[in-house]
Amino acid sequence: MISQRKNNTIQISQEAYGTLILIQNQIFGKFTRLMDEHEAGIVKKTGYFGKNPMPYAFTFAPFGKRNQETINNAKPGDKIDILKDGVVVGHIITGSTFKLKKEDVGISIFAAKNISLNDNILAGEMAISGEFEIYDTTLRDIKNKVHTLIKEKHIKKITAMTLTADPFHRLHERLVRMTIDKADMTIIFLIRTFDSDKRLSFDLRKKTLEYFRDNFLPMDRVVIVPFENTYLFSDHINPVLECITAKNFGATKLVVGQNHAGIGMFFNDNQANTVLDKYAKELDLELIVVPEYIYCNQCRTIVSTKTCPHGQHHHIKYHANTLNTLLFEGIMPPAILMRKEISAIILNELFPNRFSNLQKIYDDLFPNLGILEKHGQTEFYEELMKLYQTTSLT
């Protein structure tokens, strides 16, 4: 029997909220409860649960005096409301409570984003297990849509990749197109980045990726899955979770770059090997490691470092941090680095109302039809790049 006690609540962070959503929607496996002490012990000892790879235990010990008081007072069957920013976003039906050992904090899925920062993990002493529900259905709807498409269209070749798209540049375009060429469906997981002054917001990165898909790709073959509520995948610090996530979304292949953080790439008998090979084999997931790509000013196109015969002094590399530096200074990156439409969207967002008399500047610089036409900043940046690309007088 479910019981409800007054002031029976647990306050959670955005990060914990995102992790609960992932667990509930079977992104990491079919297990959807908060683990008890025995279940967590199995994961710790074996790295598996229910014959499925599981590198982290679903142990939940929220930090904070009030949260810990709630857990200490909880009885089996108690319904505990989950609050985020003062709003009820879900609930837990208490299964059991137990003391979480200090050495076990680091193997909790709720601490996975702090994989190299174990000394700084904030967790309570008491953990709670049981069934839970988060009321937001956004991720569930996306996953159901993907699985419905796979079933209805009898899709067999499904390739997944994770992107930060910070910013979305020409190498991302090349990688996405190469993937689409060899797959019936491509799933792009858009992941968060750790906050910084020179990082684009998640919403802006999502906007640019959706623009590219809607205008330059076959929309019915590309699905974007935004993981906006979690840092678990941020900057690719948990590639094993990327493997598991891809499989549980229905993917048959996962594409990663050879410089992908955390994959531990090494060569044996001229064959590329990674720490993900074990998981890929167990999950029956083909792992595709793509080489580094650059722009060669001799080849005059984007090529891989494995196929280009010219030296590094001919290579232009795609450094995301450098591209963001240009954008945050208000400079459009060259078109060989970023599509002008993408740069225009970003600059318009970073510098709203930048020009006091945009209409006059536009009319003075660009040809028109002789009638009054109103133009926005995004269009201005696109037209300006066209002038930059004019070579007849250079």
Residue 50 pLDDT class (50, 70, 90 cuts): confident
User: Are 104 and 45 within 8 A, CB to CB?
Assistant: no
Q: Please state the rounded mean pLDDT for residues 236-254.
A: 91
**Other CB atoms closer than 10 Å to residue 12's CB: what's the count?**
24
Which two three-digit tokens encode residue 305? Answer: 């470092």
pLDDT at 5: 52
Q: Over the stretch 365-384, which tens digit does the pLDDT of each residue have?
A: 888 766 667 889 999 999 99
Place of tokens 């906007």: 207
3-state secondary structure of 355: coil
Beta partners for residue 203, in sequence order: none
pLDDT at 117: 43
3-state secondary structure of 92: strand
Closest by Cα among 85, 35, 39 to 60: 35
Amino acid 3 reads: S
What Cα–Cα distance (Å) separates residue 306 from each residue in 34, 76, 161, 243, 259? 46, 60, 21, 25, 14
Angle formed by the axes of helices 377-388 and 358-365, to 10°?
30
Strand order of the sheet with strand 315-316?
301-304, 293-296, 315-316
Ranges 137-151, 237-251, 252-266: which has the least confidence:
252-266
- Write down how long the chain is: 394
Before 167, cis peptide (omega within 30)?
Answer: yes
Distance CA 260, CA 239 (A): 8
Q: Please state the rounded mean pLDDT for residues 8-36.
A: 95
Distance CA 377, CA 359 (A): 9
Which two three-digit tokens encode residue 49? Answer: 């649960």
| Residue 354 CB partners (closer than 8 Å, separation 6+) | 330, 347, 377
Residue 256 pLDDT class (50, 70, 90 cuts): confident
- Every domain of the chain and the residues it spans: 3-136, 139-290, 295-388
From 1.10.3210.10, 3.80.10.10, 3.10.400.10, 3.30.70.270, which CATH number describes the 3-136 domain?
A: 3.10.400.10
User: Are 234 and 191 within 8 A, CB to CB?
Assistant: yes
CATH number at 139-290: 3.40.50.620
Closest by Cα among 344, 315, 96, 316 to 215: 344
Q: Over the stretch 93-134, which tens digit does the pLDDT of each residue have?
A: 999 999 999 888 889 999 876 544 444 456 889 999 999 999
Cα 319 to the center of its chain, rounded Å: 19
pLDDT at 222: 96
Environment class of 221 (CB within 10 Å of its CB; exposed 0-12, middle 13-18, buried 19+): middle
Note if the pTM is more than 0.85: yes
pLDDT at 118: 44
**Other CB atoms closer than 10 Å to residue 100's CB: what's the count?**
21
pLDDT mean across residues, the chain: 89
Place of tokens 């890929």: 280
pLDDT at 138: 95
pLDDT for 223 beyond 80? yes
pLDDT for 10 beyond 50? yes
Q: Do domains 3-136 and 139-290 have the same CATH topology?
A: no
Q: What DSSP assignment string belongs to 279-311?
A: HHHHTT-EEEEE--EEEETTTTEEEETTT--S-
Distance CA 176, CA 194 (A): 23
Q: Over the stretch 146-195, which tens digit does the pLDDT of each residue have?
A: 999 999 999 999 999 999 999 999 999 999 999 999 999 999 999 988 76
First-to-final CA distance of the chain: 80
Place of tokens 């540049």: 169
Q: Please state the rounded mean pLDDT for residues 66-89.
A: 97
User: Are 250 and 143 within 8 A, CB to CB?
Assistant: no
